[in-house]
Amino acid sequence: MFDTARWSVLAPLLQAATAGRDLLDDTIRRLTPEAVTQVVLAEIGDVKPDVRLELHFDGETTSHLNTANELVVALHLTDVVRVLFGTEERWPSLAVRTPAGDLDADPRTWFAARNGIGQEVDALLSALKAPQQDLGSLAVAFGSDKWGDLHWYTQHYERHFARLRTEPVRVLEIGIGGYADPDRGGASLKMWQRYFRRGLVHGLDISPKTVSGPRIMTIQGDQSDAGFLDELGRRLGPFDVVIDDGSHLNEHVRISFHALFPHVRPGGLYVVEDLQTAYWPRWGGHPEAAEGTSTGMLKSFVDGLNHAEVRDPRGGGSYTERNISGISFHHNIAFVEKGLNAEEGGPEFLRTLN
Ligand SMILES: C[S@@+](CC[C@H](N)C(=O)[O-])C[C@H]1O[C@@H](n2cnc3c(N)ncnc32)[C@H](O)[C@@H]1O
């Protein structure tokens, strides 16, 4: 049910992409250049530039894409990984070889036959270094409703996710989209895959889904099954980001939070979307989002932030009280920050001062 082997090459490669060259070279040798090359080709994906991609590593040369082409872009495999997943902005070593063409032809014909060479090379290099678009544009490009129509969430995501954008994050989103149709949905998973260029993106849905991507994994399961979610967290986590965009039933939101929050990494975020259902009785809500609703649960965490002032000033507290370090509420969406909430409370004499 959990394809844990799927990330056996990607996860260590994404981690090593910002390491020094020697460490990255060692990682590529350990994972094998062949397996790393497959990762690179998967990222190029549907962009099929009409070039031969020549990859160099440890004195070996391999050819990919259109292997018969005389238009050749030669790169070091290590550079490709550093540009694709790391912080390298430029190509430290890049060589292009062009077709000889008909040398007996008239020079104008010879030059005319070379039209488009630059575009093909650029298409390949752009696929290896996609421009960083903002999340609103990515939502529109991939068709996610997180920006536009009903919701305007991406501005909030941008603010909270900025520090994670270039990190090798693990993301889990509950709710892939498209409901019972296996071939629909996945817009936000594709958006996260592009936004987090070093991210492994997991999507959970109660229906089976066919959406795929080089760094996307789909899992079928019910977000109201706490035992299943705990197993998911142990096998595929810990996660840097969990997003609940599933059924939006209040009971489900609470069950999922308590099952998955322990599988969020310190410094990570748990996001709950569509909190309007906390006020809607049909969804298990209450007009004042009282205890028992999703927002009621989140409101109780505000008191939990100050548990040391209310009860034992020198420690104690429940799991959420000790591990939630911040909460941000916006229209219909909340971000819960995981971190140490371990400061002491104010001294006794201040509490009881008349
Ligand atoms: C609003 S859509 C998700 C949209 C997607 N996150 C996006 O932004 O493109 C909600 C999805 O949650 C799924 N869902 C409903 N109940 C669920 C449950 N109990 N467990 C897991 N997924 C569920 C539905 O099948 C549906 O595909």
CA distance 112 to 212: 40
Contact 271, 240 (CB under 8 A): no
Is the pLDDT at 315 greater than 80, yes or no? no
Is the pLDDT at 187 greater than 90, yes or no? yes
| Mean pLDDT on 49-69 | 97
Task: Locate the ligand 1 atom nearest the alpha carbon of residue 186 and give its number.
Answer: 9
Residues touching ligand 1 (Cβ under 6 Å) are: 144-146, 173-179, 185, 187-188, 204-207, 222-224, 245-247, 252
Is the pLDDT at 313 greater than 70, yes or no? no
**Distance from Cα 245 to the centre of ligand 1, integer Å:** 6
Name, in order, each residue with C-beta under 8 angstroms of 331's C-beta and a sequence gap of 6 or more. Answer: 152
Q: Which CATH architecture has domain 135-351?
A: 3-Layer(aba) Sandwich (3.40)
State the number of CA atoms in the 13 A half-sphere of 95 facing the CB: 8
**Distance from Cα 295 to the centre of ligand 1, integer Å:** 19
Is the pLDDT at 311 greater than 90, yes or no? no
**Per-residue pLDDT tens digits for 131-172:** 889 999 999 999 999 998 789 999 999 999 999 999 999 999
Output the CA–CA distances (angstroms, integers) from residue 187 to 127, 139, 194, 333, in the order listed: 20, 8, 11, 19
3-state secondary structure 228-275: HHHHHHHHHCCEEEEEECCCCCHHHHHHHHHHHHHHEEEEEEEEECCH
**Average pLDDT over all residues of the chain:** 95
Task: Locate the ligand 1 atom nearest the alpha carbon of residue 222 and give its number.
Answer: 20
Q: What is the pLDDT of residue 310?
A: 81
**Distance from Cα 244 to the centre of ligand 1, integer Å:** 9
Query: Domain 4-128: which topology?
Result: Nonspecific Lipid-transfer Protein; Chain A (3.30.1050)
What is residue 287's three-state secondary structure?
Answer: coil
Give the closest residue (by CA) to ligand 1 atom 17.
Answer: 247
Task: Locate the ligand 1 atom nearest the alpha carbon of residue 205 and give its number.
Answer: 22
Domain residue extents for the chain: 4-128, 135-351
Structure tokens at 161: 């996710």
Q: What is the pLDDT of residue 261?
A: 98
Q: What is the pLDDT of residue 267?
A: 98
**Per-residue pLDDT tens digits for 10-36:** 999 999 999 999 999 999 999 999 999
Output the CA–CA distances (angstroms, integers) from residue 295 to 260, 263, 318, 343, in the order listed: 17, 21, 19, 25
| Mean pLDDT on 187-203 | 97
Choosing from 248, 252, 263, 307, the catalytic residue is: 248
Higher pLDDT, 351 or 287: 287
Percent of the chain with pLDDT over 90: 90
**Distance from Cα 158 to the centre of ligand 1, integer Å:** 22
pLDDT band at 314 (very low <50, low <70, confident <90, very high): low
- The yes-or-no answer on residue 76 being catalytic is no
